[in-house]
Amino acid sequence: SYCNHQLFDTGCGLNDNDYKTGAIVADITGSDLRLMGLGIFPPPDGYYKGGIAVYDTDMRLITHHTGDTVSLQLPFDSRVKLGSTLNVYPGCDGSPETCKDKFNNYGKFLGMPLIPSKNPVMWGV
């Protein structure tokens, strides 16, 4: 039932530059980064979850987002330090609600949310 596109791929059709946020590393604690510049009006908690943080050509999956702090699946190496600038992109969980409400892109949604999860042909009515 979830979308088969990857966020920002050709099928999705969204431009990643429209969602890119430049942010400056203000604090590093292991895999957690506190970032300045996530916006004048910070997005809601979880907005960046499932997204990526990019430094140069090095990318990390964002596993958690609260306020100005993101948690990464793996920490960056020593090149990323206080004052480094990262590009941060939001995540998409592939649900029709996220496609519609967060990205206003439901016309490109490639999921089948109305197909029943229990097939009556296989399991009976």
* pLDDT tens digits along 58-116: 999 999 999 999 999 999 999 999 999 999 999 999 999 999 999 999 999 999 888 77
Q: Is the separation of the CB atoms in 49 and 62 below 8 Å?
A: yes
State how far the Cα of 90 lies from the Cα of 21, in Å rounded to an integer.
9
Region of 95 (left: φ > 0; alpha: ψ -120 to 50; beta: rest) is beta
Any idea how long the chain is?
125
**72 is written with which tokens?**
């990464």
pLDDT band with cut points at 50, 70 and 90 for residue 121: confident
Q: Residue 124 has what pLDDT?
A: 67
